[in-house]
């Protein structure tokens, strides 16, 4: 069991939350019960996840995509009201970690995805959210590996050269960082989503671009964080997958 405040402080320090300028607040977003023994993790604070957490009698939910974003309407109504009201009435804490969870060197989304896809010599690109590493594999074998590990068929754009050596990646909706990937010594850039302009940017710069799913690439950081918390504070932990094809 752990006290809410202690858990919040621990996560803020472990994830180096104050070092990030983000589109949302990181840490406790909704205050629930003071003593926490069981936690649930998920990618996004969707209604379906909150309902499952209630069924599981969780004391806290940990997500990558929280409930409040800086560019959103500040009024709590409609679907947001329903979610906030369910959390408050069931006394469930909601913790959200966005960019600090992407970047973390042990439990971060990027390092966890790199491990899952067996990328070698992984390291973050300095001053950036992107990571880079080595692969010695054909493009077709790599796309099969992604399909098998993420249970989702990736979309491949741009250069279709079979041999892959250097790769850069950033989980989630980081397709616009392709401009940064172009400046690196890599043949392939991978993220979650794709925009209208991404295929041409890849093709015209002789780069392969893979969209492997925003949700699918961001399942692993929150699970790794909660496994770590579960060991550190002897908490029960369960990851709940709420399907999202994007
Ligand atoms: Zn995301």
Averaged pLDDT, 188-196? 98
Distance 109 CA to ligand 1 centre (A): 10
Residues 128 and 72 in one domain: no
Contact 13, 34 (CB under 8 A): no
Residues 24 and 91 in one domain: yes
Rounded mean pLDDT of the chain? 97
* pLDDT tens string 117-132: 999 999 999 999 999 9
Does residue 25 belong to any structural domain of this protein?
A: yes
- Residues 67, 14, 219: CA angle, nearest 5 degrees: 50
CA distance 126 to 111: 14
Distance 65 CA to ligand 1 centre (A): 6
Averaged pLDDT, 220-239? 98
CATH of the domain at 114: 3.40.1390.30
Does residue 155 belong to any structural domain of this protein?
A: yes
Residue found by looking up tokens 């966005």 in the block: 98
Sheet hosting strand 120-124, strand order edge to edge? 120-124, 131-138, 163-169, 188-191, 208-211, 155-158
Residues 85 and 114 in one domain: no
Distance 126 CA to ligand 1 centre (A): 21
Instruction: Check residue 162 and give its pLDDT.
Output: 87
Residues 151 and 198 in one domain: yes
Instruction: Check residue 161 and give its pLDDT.
Output: 86
Distance 30 CA to ligand 1 centre (A): 20
Q: How many domains does the chain have?
A: 2
Distance 116 CA to ligand 1 centre (A): 18
Distance 44 CA to ligand 1 centre (A): 8
CA distance 157 to 143: 12
Residues whose CB falls within 8 Å of the CB of residue 217, separated by 6 or more in sequence, listed in order: 109, 113, 150, 171, 172, 190, 191, 192
Residues 207 and 223 in one domain: no
Distance 111 CA to ligand 1 centre (A): 15
Distance 218 CA to ligand 1 centre (A): 7
Instruction: Check residue 21 and give its pLDDT.
Output: 92
CA distance 231 to 33: 20
Residues 194 and 231 in one domain: no
The answer on pLDDT for 225 being more than 90 is yes
- In this structure, are strands 236-239 and 38-44 parallel, antiparallel, or unpaired? parallel
Residues 113 and 212 in one domain: yes
Residues 212 and 223 in one domain: no
The answer on pLDDT for 228 being more than 90 is yes
The answer on pLDDT for 82 being more than 90 is yes
Residues 211 and 197 in one domain: yes
Distance 99 CA to ligand 1 centre (A): 9
Contact 216, 150 (CB under 8 A): yes
Instruction: Check residue 202 and give its pLDDT.
Output: 97
Does residue 246 belong to any structural domain of this protein?
A: no
Does residue 33 belong to any structural domain of this protein?
A: yes
* pLDDT tens string 133-187: 999 999 999 999 999 999 999 999 999 888 999 999 999 999 999 999 999 989 9
**Domain extent at residue 193:** 109-217
């Amino acid at each position: 069991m752990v006290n809410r405040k202690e858990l919040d402080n621990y996560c803020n320090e472990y994830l180096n939350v104050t070092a990030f300028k983000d589109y949302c607040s990181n840490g406790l977003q909704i205050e629930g019960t003071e003593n926490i023994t069981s936690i649930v993790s998920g990618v996004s604070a969707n209604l379906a996840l909150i309902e499952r957490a209630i069924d599981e009698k969780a004391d806290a939910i940990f997500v990558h995509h929280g409930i409040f974003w800086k560019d959103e309407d500040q009024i709590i109504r409609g679907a947001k009201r329903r979610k906030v009201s369910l959390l408050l009435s069931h006394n469930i804490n909601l913790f959200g970690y966005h960019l600090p969870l992407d970047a973390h060197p042990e439990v971060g989304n990027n390092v966890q995805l790199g491990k899952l896809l067996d990328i070698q010599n992984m390291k973050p690109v300095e001053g950036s959210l992107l990571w880079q590493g080595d692969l010695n594999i054909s493009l077709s074998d790599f796309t099969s590996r992604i399909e098998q590990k993420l249970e989702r068929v990736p979309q491949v754009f741009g250069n279709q050269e079979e041999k892959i050596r250097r790769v850069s990646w950033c989980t989630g909706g980081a397709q616009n960082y392709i401009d940064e990937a172009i400046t690196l010594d890599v043949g392939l850039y991978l993220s979650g989503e794709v925009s209208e302009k991404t295929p041409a940017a890849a093709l015209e710069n002789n780069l392969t671009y893979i969209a492997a799913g925003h949700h699918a690439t961001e399942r692993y950081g929150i699970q790794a964080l909660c496994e770590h918390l579960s060991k550190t504070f002897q908490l029960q932990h369960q990851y709940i997958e709420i399907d999202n094809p994007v």
